Amino acid sequence: MAKLSIDDIKNELKGKKVLMRVDFNVPLDDKRVITSDKRISASLPSIKFVIENGGKLILMSHLGRPKGKKNPEFSLDVVAVKLAELLGKEVKFSKDCIGDEPKKLVDSMKEGDVVLLENLRFYNEEEANDPEFAKKLASLGDIYINDAFGTAHRAHASTEGVCKFIKKCAAGYLMEKELKFLGQLLEKPAKPFIAILGGAKVSDKIMVIENLLNIVDGIIIGGGMAYTFLKAKGRAIGNSLCETDKIDTAKEIMKKGLDKNVSIYLPIDHVVARMDGGPGDFMEKLKKAEYKEVLRDDIDDGWEGVDIGKNTIEKFKNIISKSKTIFWNGPMGVFEVEQFSKGTFEIGKALAASGAVTVVGGGDSASALKKLKLSDKMTHVSTGGGASMEFMEGTELPGVAALTDK
């Protein structure tokens, strides 16, 4: 890696104040109980490394969307308790992230101590990357480590701004791991390399597809976005989701695929649903909808594609079994509803059994694997959905670019 890593600064940590950006944006229930501590656990290797090498560790993160206002609902106090439990040592909590309180706490720290600052997004200045706010955060540390890959695609005060005021800025272990596995996909993937893309919209994935067409041998397209491609091919899609303004884009992508000898695979059959018209929650209506399997690639009026059919599943599984490298982002159907989850779950199982290098770009694909208890069967599951997709677009991430070059 071209950027300074946590191992590169091992001998400089003792007695130093180490400001570390982590991603502790954990899910909470209505009683503010953490329902998954995965994001906290993911940063433990970097946290323990700093402590064990005599650093004074100051952690900063965001939680939820408090919209620039101090809101106890989004306080990181519950995270401090959970982190202390996971570390087996005290974690001091600062009720603010700038000002007198964190300064006093940091000034009183001993080697190996840990302080967690209050939610950065209690201030609008964080997301605005305000230089004065970044300077105040930076004043708390001698060295900076970014271990929050999930926010690396945003130029915020805590990810990009602070690097202007601290001389040595390094990548933590989690950040390094993400860059290593995603970087390998773009630079030297074992062939055949297949990308599996799903989810609702073509518009969310255009830049990723454009970049992947230069690298992959084939692209499997499922989920809602497949219907825009099928429409572009002249197929009847009934009431299925379709971005009509992206039909020409889909045609261009398929033409580029042909020109570059990249196969683009679309569903050949479907599970379709017919819902009651009128207002109401889409998911609730879908759970009660009439549904059936259609063993062809055309869909009748009044019916909506909600999952890939059994022949498509077999076709996609066959492609997966012959691949050496696979990148997956986006479900094949509305997998949150049990009767429309088979396509997504079968793809997840096929990846686990493939023996290929399997990299999953976070988001819904990661949620599906978690439901299947197959996350540990993947080579790498990204912690940052948006960041991993921007990386796969070939875009330089501000939070990575800001780190110190080796």
- Which alpha helices (DSSP H) does 28-150 contain, by range? 38-42, 44-52, 77-87, 100-107, 124-127, 131-138
Domain 6-175 superfamily per CATH:
Phosphoglycerate kinase, N-terminal domain (3.40.50.1260)
Counting Cβ atoms within 10 Å, is residue 90 exposed (0-12), middle (13-18) or buried (19+)? Answer: exposed
Q: How far apart are CA 157 and CA 61, in angstroms?
A: 11
Which residue do the tokens 């954990």 mark? 26
Q: Per-residue pLDDT tens for 297-349? A: 899 999 999 999 999 999 999 999 999 999 999 999 999 999 999 999 999 99
CB 156 within 8 A of CB 387: no
pLDDT of residue 285: 87
Contacts of 81 by beta carbon, 8 Å cutoff, 6+ apart: 91
What global pTM score does this model have?
0.88
The two tokens of residue 366 are 């990661």
**If we measure between CA atoms, which residue out of 337, 247, 242 comes closest to residue 289?**
337
Which residues in the chain are classed under CATH 3.40.50.1260?
6-175, 189-392
Phi, psi of 83 (to 5 degrees): -65, -40
pLDDT of residue 108: 98
Which residue do the tokens 């400089």 mark? 12
Q: How far apart are CA 353 and CA 369, in angstroms?
A: 13
Q: How far apart are CA 12 and CA 5, in angstroms?
A: 12
Q: Per-residue pLDDT tens for 220-270? A: 999 999 999 999 999 999 999 999 999 999 999 999 999 999 999 999 999
**Which positions of the chain have pLDDT values less than 70?**
1
CB 351 within 8 A of CB 358: yes
Phi, psi of 273 (to 5 degrees): -130, 150
Q: 163 in helix, strand or coil?
A: helix
* 189-392 classified as CATH 3.40.50.300: no
Q: How far apart are CA 384 and CA 178, in angstroms?
A: 9
Strand order in the sheet with 56-60: 92-94, 114-117, 56-60, 17-21, 143-146, 168-171
Q: What is the set of active-site residues?
A: 39, 201, 363, 386
Which residue do the tokens 């991603």 mark? 23
pLDDT of residue 356: 96
The two tokens of residue 140 are 């708390």
Of all helices (H) and strands (E), which one includes residue 282? helix 282-287
